[in-house]
Amino acid sequence: VEPKRKKRNICQELCGSVMEFGEESSPALAFEKEAFELTVEDVYDISYVIGRDLLKISNTGEEVSDLQFRIVRVLEMFETLVNKYNLSLEELKMERDNLKSELDRIIKESSSGQQTAGPNQLVIDLTDPNRPRFTMQELKEVLQERNQLKAQLMVAQEELQLYKSGILPQAEPAMVEVDLKTPAAKEHKPETINDTKEEKTTIGKLFSFRRK
């Protein structure tokens, strides 16, 4: 596209009224181009060449005006198509470049760890061993069970204390024997140590894990 040249149009080119081409630029070269490489300037060159040929024919005395009008019409359609094609191509290229740079930006962001999440969403790194994994309901159940066991342990400890201090009448020698084997049991009399046979009472079984 040569910017210096005045705006061309099909009619003027075909009727040969305006153009004079230098020796170096030959408008006939437009015929040798690939269809998809044509610019609208090429279409004007084609118009010019056809106009020149028509002139030759009319100089021989033939009547060409009807043909001339049809050719103008066809070339105008051609002009529109080439124009439209080149514009669409340009638009698609720009669109493609925009998408490309957008994609590059997103890839860059995600690789640098700045992932974007919705306003109420949390991004979880699945490789983090400390990542959140359990639901509130699960935590609730675990805590309830923990507190239940804690309460039961306290009740058991209290009962044990009662047995130890002799408040409860069920306390038997076996109980004493079990206690004697634990490190903290020093308040009992030494003679009961040898009484190792009786250890089948409930309490003895319950707390047998403390022996050894």
Phi, psi (deg, nearest 5) at residue 89: -60, -45
Closest to 14 in 3D by CA, of 74, 61, 80, 60: 74
The answer to whether 176 and 192 are in contact (CB under 8 A) is yes
Q: Per CB under 8 A, does 202 bind another protein?
A: no
Helical residues (DSSP H) of the chain, grouped into ranges: 10-15, 40-59, 65-111, 136-164, 173-180, 202-206
x-marked contacts with another protein along 45-84 as a string, rule CB under 8 A: ----------------------------------------
Q: Per CB under 8 A, does 143 bind another protein?
A: yes
Q: Which is nearer to another protein, 57 or 139 (CB)?
A: 139
Phi, psi (deg, nearest 5) at residue 196: -95, -5
Candidates 83, 98, 147, 165; binder of another protein (CB under 8 A) is 147
Q: Per CB under 8 A, does 126 bind another protein?
A: no
The residue ranges that bind another protein (CB under 8 A) are 136, 139-140, 143-144, 147-148, 150-151, 154-155, 158-159, 162, 167-168
